[in-house]
Structure 1
Amino acid sequence: MPVIDAKHDIDNLTLTITAHFAAPVQRIWQIYADPRQLEKIWGPPTFPATVVQHDLTAGSRTTYYMTGPDGEKYGGYWDVTAVDEPNSFAFDDGFADADLNPDPSMPVSKCVYTFAEHDGGTHATYASTFASAEALQQVLDMGVVEGSTSAINQIDALLAA
């Protein structure tokens, strides 16, 4: 499994997941840049993602929804704030309503995804910062660590396909 560490720090309002992939940085980058590949790994296996709009450039918005086992749809969005292809990108990650508009009642995290060459593969760091301890705790209670870990771990199967 690619994920080697997942830790949260309530005092610093952070959640950081680290993974290693047996693929070059450019290949990992393409998974996040291509909406059809992104939807294969963004949601956990039981909540597959459908990417509606995606352009991995600063100033753009990605919209998507995940479909749960019961058929219910859960919307989300990224507001992309910075891109350094193929090394990193940053975005505000939030929840969305049924029309894929931001839901202001839910937490937003500031995310930075970084990819670096490591032993012939890629070392990936997925770092998220929250506005408050309550916001971080809310997503922890929703299962963000388990969901994100299982989603990221799907990358190996995509690479093998």
Structure 2
Amino acid sequence: MKHHLLFDFTVDKAAKTVFITREFNAELPLVWDAFTQAEILDQWVAPKPWTSKTKFMEFKAGGRRFYAMVSPEGQERWAIQKYTSISPKTNFKLFNAFADKDENPELPGSEWDYTFSEQNGITRVDITIYNESLERLEKMIEMGFTEGYKMSMVNLENVLESLSGVSKQ
């Protein structure tokens, strides 16, 4: 039986916040790994034809990830993330900012809060992205964040399917 998987993407400009809820037909440990391991993140997080390359990632409270979205022409858009809290397999939070290639952040940034839950083999990820300014939220949207993130979620679904090695009925 094929499940209808929830995907909700809401932009609340008044609250300077993006709310994303997405379900995956995969077990929670695999979905958690896809969000917390650089080698898996780089396989799905960039909307095609862009790619992602992580320069470094230390997934722990106080740790950082420095990565770039790379265009087909080789243009790099760098970002830095600092993990502010981690509750294994249930939640992690980070501060995200665009950056230059030398890790200098372009402030203001945004706070991301990821919550994971599983029921009957379906994993749900709730993401809240609070932007420090309306201008930053509008810049994200202007840069194609909405379309790009939706494309990334399809990429993730495909990666999870290939990693699980089993097509669920």
| TM superposition score normalised by structure 2 | 0.88
The answer as to 2:21 corresponding to 1:34 is no
Amino acid at match of 1:56: F
Structure-2 residue corresponding to 1:139: 140
Structure-2 residue corresponding to 1:5: 8
Structure-1 residue corresponding to 2:110: 109
* In structure 1, C-alpha distance between the alignment counterparts of 2:159 and 2:65, rounded to whole Å: 21
| Structure 2 spans left out of the alignment, 5+ residues | 163-169
* In structure 1, C-alpha distance between the alignment counterparts of 2:71 and 2:36, rounded to whole Å: 24
| 4+ residue segments displaced more than 3 Å | none
- The equivalences for 1:90-129 within 5 A come to 90-104=93-107, 107-129=108-130
Q: Percent identity?
A: 26
Amino acid at match of 1:73: E
Deviation at residue 127 of structure 1 after TM alignment? 1.0
Deviation at residue 101 of structure 1 after TM alignment? 2.6
* In structure 1, C-alpha distance between the alignment counterparts of 2:152 and 2:6, rounded to whole Å: 10
* In structure 2, C-alpha distance between the alignment counterparts of 1:101 and 1:94, rounded to whole Å: 9
SS state at 2:106 partner: coil
Structure-2 residue corresponding to 1:72: 75
Deviation at residue 7 of structure 1 after TM alignment? 0.6
Q: Is this contact kept in 1: 2:45–2:156, CA < 8 A?
A: no
Q: Is this contact kept in 1: 2:52–2:70, CA < 8 A?
A: yes
Q: Is this contact kept in 1: 2:47–2:152, CA < 8 A?
A: yes
* In structure 2, C-alpha distance between the alignment counterparts of 1:108 and 1:42, rounded to whole Å: 19
SS state at 1:153 partner: helix
- Counterpart among 15, 19, 22 of residue 18 in structure 2: 15
Larger radius of gyration: 2
Amino acid at match of 1:42: V
| TM superposition score normalised by structure 1 | 0.92
Task: Give the count of matched residue pairs.
Answer: 159
Amino acid at match of 2:135: E
SS state at 1:122 partner: strand
Deviation at residue 2 of structure 1 after TM alignment? 5.8
* In structure 1, C-alpha distance between the alignment counterparts of 2:127 and 2:6, rounded to whole Å: 10
Deviation at residue 100 of structure 1 after TM alignment? 2.9
CA RMSD of aligned residues (A): 1.6
| Structure 1 spans left out of the alignment, 5+ residues | none
* In structure 2, C-alpha distance between the alignment counterparts of 1:2 and 1:63, rounded to whole Å: 31
Amino acid at match of 1:49: S
